[in-house]
Chain A
């Protein structure tokens, strides 16, 4: 399982890349492998605000719809439109082209409590 060292991770299997006071978010390799065959992504609304741990997007496989949670409170700056026509990017490149959205954090200290790669690896076995 691929767990890049330079990212942070949530309990609910999102990855978070810090880009200044913004964060780029997707789901982990482990999560995409569990879901398999992502067939639809409901993207967050541009410009909308979300609370930490609030539902911000939905990733659907053939079998189930899974909620994606915001890792911090903030406002959506960018969404990955490519997922609308090619949701399988989440399977093929979860940490790259499969990113889901970029959030402007209200509080840049809001990422405390996320796991580093070693802790995430340990948690997912």
Chain B
């Protein structure tokens, strides 16, 4: 099978101009870094950084029964969403395997925006369309939208520099319309970094203009354009899962430790029966965070984990934590999983290095 040529976002030329190192990611050519993952990571932890998230998908469900239908397709409770609110949720297959993790926003009483992972757009859309409910229209609007994630403690200042001193950030998990010049934007107080931040969605044609405006207005705050490298280290310090690594159709949300986003009190949703059985019968494995003890090579995905000398699983994520300056990661381990503080070993190039089980998040703000 030959791979389809990588897609590019409307910001491709801007990334190249800024020295972005472009790599393939989920079918897209995206910047992994501009100058330094470490520096980009620290910009987000200490001031503010901007990420191109135009590769992510936007699906829109519309109709009098759209909410009712989505509630049967997604694990979290859509009925709890007021207009202008969003929630993290899962799209599961019949066996409760994770097709995607996403955020669903109620942007109007009968209209929902689903922001989905770039590599899953076609699969999500096909799955949802093949299960489409009565009186619901579903559209894939991914091509029409560009998106930026603006993340870091200085986001409030940057927001007011962009939209005006009198404007207020939407509350956590809320989404609201704003205008930047003549460009309409949806601004959501969400993110994937553990810092305060927003994600903004707007017409693709305006992408270079909005991107450069954000960089210009953020200049005095020390803004940095940030790539996928920093996005990965930031999210892993928070133990936020990465689809395709920590989440896949082979895993369900309960074993990923994300039961908070699954409402088993709902009478019906795809995958519910399996999750209920899993919950009652006990999970076979769980995703656990850990950190390396002492100096050593950084842990990386697929390295093997040993517990009491026996192989116990493999890493789904691993990196050197730029904030903590030691190796961190997550691995699915057979239950009963080791408790916080218990020691495990990570095999790196044939040698075993000690690590210790941690609690999430791995990084906490001082």
Contact = CB atoms under 8 A, between A and B. Distances in A.
Contacts of B119: none
Contact of B229 (A40, A42, A58, A62): A62
Contacts, number: 40
B223 interface: no
B298 A62 contact: yes
A40 B325 CA distance: 11
Interface stretch (B34-42, B96-104, B108-116, B176-184): B34-42
Contacts of B21: 34
B322 interface: yes
Contacts of B349: 42, 58
B298 A36 contact: no
B15 interface: no
A83 to B, nearest CB: 11
B297 A65 contact: yes
Contacts of A65: 297-298, 300
A84 interface: yes
A84 B38 contact: no
B282 interface: no
A58 B233 contact: no
Chain A interface category by residue count: 10 to 19
A60 interface: yes
Interface string A48-73: 00000000001011110100000000
A39 to B, nearest CB: 5
A37 interface: yes
Given A60-B298, A62-B233, A36 B322 contact: no
B315 to A, nearest CB: 13
A42 B298 CA distance: 11
Contacts of A62: 37-38, 229, 233, 298, 319-320, 322
Contact of A60 (B33, B38, B295, B297): B297
B339 to A, nearest CB: 28
A37 B297 contact: no
A37 B40 CA distance: 11
A84 B297 contact: no
Chain B interface category by residue count: 10 to 19
B92 interface: no
Contact of B296 (A36, A40, A61): A40
Nearest to A34: B21
A78 B238 CA distance: 40
A40 B297 contact: yes
B11 interface: no
Contacts of A36: 33, 35-38
Nearest to B38: A37
A63 B36 contact: no
Contacts of A39: 298, 320
Interface string B195-236: 000000000000000000000000000000000010001000
B144 to A, nearest CB: 32
B32 interface: yes
B298 A40 contact: yes
Contacts of B33: 36, 63
Contacts of A63: 32-33, 37, 229, 319
Given A36-B38, A40-B296, 8 more contacts: A39-B298, A58-B349, A60-B298, A62-B229, A63-B32, A63-B37, A63-B229, A63-B319
Interface of A: 34, 36-37, 39-40, 42, 58, 60-63, 65, 84
5 contacts: A36-B36, A42-B349, A61-B37, A62-B37, A63-B319
